[in-house]
Copies of this chain bind each other. A is one copy, B any other.
Amino acid sequence: MKHQIDLEKYQEDALVPTLQDVARQAQVSTATVSRALSQPDVVSKRTLKRVQQAVESTGYVVNEAARSLRKKKSGALLVMVPAVSSPFFSLVMRGLEATATQAGYSILVANTEDDDFKERQLFSYVQQNRADGVLIRGGRPPVQKGEVQGRIPPIVAVNERIEGIAVPTVAVNGEDAAKEVIRYLLGLGHRRIGHISGPVSRASSATDRFRGYEAALREAGLTSTWNHATEYNMESGTLAAREWISLPERPTAVFCSCDEVAFGFNSALYRSGFRVPRDVSVVGFDDIPLAEFSIPSLTTIRQPYQEIGVRAVKLLLEQIQHPNEPLDSVFLKGELIPRESTRRLGE
């Protein structure tokens, strides 16, 4: 019934009620209506009630475009990711979305496709007053190169640090986590430990993990047996597997830069007749939900993705509210989750 009416309205290009309409209905000024809605406490109870009734009866909802224009705030945050379909990042998104929504902000998503040009373009979202701040994953924001025209928007880097410019970051401490992995493998008796690293030249996370790997080995008086640098995906894992197979002295344990690489690695080994952890212990990074359900289940570092999202948004909102106070980065702790893909050497 109601639905019917709405549909008709829609078809005749319904005149959406505005503040004016509410004001007329409630017999007060638009200023009063505006205040009644945004600061109810400065309005008398009597008029407040009148306004609320008028809002109700007109079906008024604020026009965000008008509000944005006037307040010079869009009420939106831009999320820039190389690939929205990354399993790990999509988990972080939940935290981002939930926190932003709770704070009354909406989330704009843009894929950078790892493309400098797009990244530059996307920053214009803020200049265009489409977004009040940017959450960026990936280490090459245009500001780094002084290429951004106009004002520099509030930014928070997620997962990856951004070098060369003071942008607060929210990420797991990858170096510490990597060390933990290596110490764990050492504790299992492994001495020849290899590492399939991520895109070290581009991603700080990959660098950090690599650094932690080397440092922990050094601590134990060892050095890297084998390192293979790749991308964060499964194909990379299979390529690395081929290389591992061809090694004269194969590492007995391999620390992968992320779970997907580990899956690709395991999968390729499996197809060549090798078994994990019988022939090699494998550790991932991220703990995406599948890690627990893969065969074998994957020993990995659990990243608190929800919290990463939450903290990143909070940091960004703080920055938006107080543009000139520099904020500290947040580095969270990753947790080692031992599962089936690793075993004590020789057992």
Contact = CB atoms under 8 A, between A and B. Distances in A.
A113 to B, nearest CB: 8
Contacts of A146: 1-3, 6
A194 to B, nearest CB: 19
Counting every copy of the chain, the complex holds: 2
A307 to B, nearest CB: 14
Contacts of A90: 84-87, 90
A321 interface: no
A129 B295 contact: no
Interface residues of A, number: 74
B14 A151 contact: yes
Contacts of A68: 65, 68
A244 interface: no
Contact of A263 (B63, B87, B293): B293
A37 interface: no
B270 A127 contact: no
A6 B143 CA distance: 10
Contacts of A65: 65, 68-69, 72, 74, 129-130
17 contacts: A3-B143, A6-B151, A11-B324, A62-B128, A63-B129, A64-B74, A65-B65, A85-B94, A97-B111, A101-B110, A238-B293, A263-B290, A266-B295, A267-B293, A267-B297, A290-B290, A294-B294
